[in-house]
Amino acid sequence: MKVNIPESEKKRVVIIGGGFAGMNLAKKLAKSNYQVVLVDKNNYHQFQPLFYQVAMAGLEPSSIAFPLRKIFQKQKNVYIRVTEVLEVEIENKRLRTTLGIMNYDYLVLGIGADTNFFGNESLAKHCIPMKSVGEALYLRNAMFNDYEIALSTDDYEQRQGFIDMVIVGGGPTGVEVAGALAEMKQYILPKDYPELDNKEVDIYLIQSGNQLLKGMSTEASDKAAKYLTELGVKIIFNNRVVNVDKNFVYMKDGSTIRSRKVIWAAGITGNKLKGIPEESIVWGNRLKVNRLNQIEGLENIYAIGDIAYMETEAFPKGHPQVAQVAIQQGQHLAKNFKNLIKDKPLKDFVYNDLGAMATIGRHRAVVDLPWFKTQGFFAWFVWLFVHLFALIGMRNKVIVFINWVWNYFTYDQSLRLIIKVKERYGKRQ
């Protein structure tokens, strides 16, 4: 069975993945002389930098997700197909999907990355990742459900397992989650759970190295550690988690931490697609591409975003797996596709590093930009401004802004809901 897509004389560009890379490529090609097919297993684009705010009940899931069909509803040359890609048949220039066979002239892989548990099955089973809206909601449910159970738990040690939190990984995600949890402990728990002594709640941030926010400046790293310590977060440097079960976290030095909730933010690995030859895959399951984002050794197949590994003089070990790289690669590849169809020269990709930033609660953030570095209130304001305007859709911008303003003045939010999924009595045929 073939996927129903109108036949066209135009060359067909199939893009797998509606993240920052794939979405920006599709937007730039929407009015070109190509037929564009955007494939994703979800029907929405997810704004990953704010997953943690959904998990901490600061934002609704719909505030950081935007329907793909809404983005392209006025673009008659872009076709959305919600399906899972099972395999790419390179020799036949087609994909096998759960909807059927899909042909392509050019294939672009923007399939991104997933949580890396480094082959440790116990970590994969018991830790909570945050690479999707669904995982953020799962964490929110688990956290508030355990608070409810803790109210009826008399034994101190057992209660610690329900209320203490462990975050593994001192990158931007780990730092921002730790800061949000610390503020929840300070401002929210005394209101919602006055029967719990919030002084019993311990928040641990575990970093295998000797500094937070690796890749940012020393000033940013030191200030982030200072802010988190002031908020009461217990930072553990130069140690790592080796095992986790349903009650305890086991450390390399032999120590243990009692907690039922371990948030894993300690690394990512590229998603794999059956049919891509092993020789095209390098460390981290990334796909090696040339300066045109074409996968080396494969004709008419490209990779962009987190999945792409491109060595340059400035980035000999590949570009950082961040949103700005994905956005710029998507936009640049669109320009090259337009040049290709006009027989114009193709240009190498050059990454314009716009800097990095992380927030650690209200009035606390660190920002490293190419032209200056700052920490504190101004950095926090810059972080808010950048993330607000990066959101897709005016409605989302307005809703997030209102949520942030309300939370700023009230230290409160009304989104702390435990959403339970009811089991179905039958399966959809």
Find where tokens 């116990």 sit.
122
The angle formed by the CA atoms of residues 172, 248 and 145, to the nearest 5 degrees, is 75
pLDDT of residue 428: 44
Angle between helical axes of 218-230 and 172-183 (0-180°, round to 10): 20
Provide the token pair at 418: 């435990």
Q: Nearest-CA neighbor of 358 among 178, 192, 209?
A: 178
pLDDT tens track, the chain, 429 positions: 888 998 899 999 999 999 999 999 999 999 999 999 999 999 999 999 999 999 998 898 999 999 999 999 999 999 999 999 999 999 999 999 999 999 999 999 999 999 999 999 999 999 999 999 999 999 999 999 999 999 999 999 999 999 999 999 999 999 999 999 999 999 999 999 999 999 999 999 999 999 999 989 999 999 999 999 999 999 999 999 999 999 999 999 999 999 999 999 998 999 999 999 999 999 999 999 999 999 999 999 999 999 999 999 999 999 999 999 999 999 999 999 999 999 999 999 999 999 999 999 889 999 999 989 999 999 999 999 999 999 988 989 999 999 898 888 887 776 788 877 665 544 444
| pTM for this entry | 0.92
Instruction: Label residue 169 left, alpha or beta by phi (over 0 means left) and psi (-120 to 50 means alpha).
Output: left
pLDDT of residue 409: 83
pLDDT of residue 422: 60
Pairing of strands 44-46, 65-67: antiparallel
pLDDT of residue 407: 85
Q: Any residues with CB less than 8 A from the CB of 298 and at least 6 apart, and which?
A: 90, 276, 277, 280
The angle formed by the CA atoms of residues 245, 284 and 252, to the nearest 5 degrees, is 35
pLDDT of residue 429: 42
Residue 319: count other Cβ atoms within 10 Å of its Cβ: 23
pLDDT of residue 416: 82
Q: What is the DSSP string of 364-383?
A: -EEEE-SS-EEESHHHHHHH
SS3 56: coil
Find where tokens 């936009």 sit.
331
CA–CA separation, 320 and 353 (whole Å): 10
pLDDT of residue 420: 72
Q: Any residues with CB less than 8 A from the CB of 55 and at least 6 apart, and which?
A: 130, 136, 137, 139, 140, 143, 177
What residue ranges define each of the domains in the chain, with the CATH number in brackets?
11-115+269-341 (3.50.50.60), 121-264 (3.50.50.60)
Burial annotation 169-206 (CB, 10 A radius, 16+ → b, else e): bbbbbbbbbbbbbbbbbebbbeeebeebebeebbbbbb
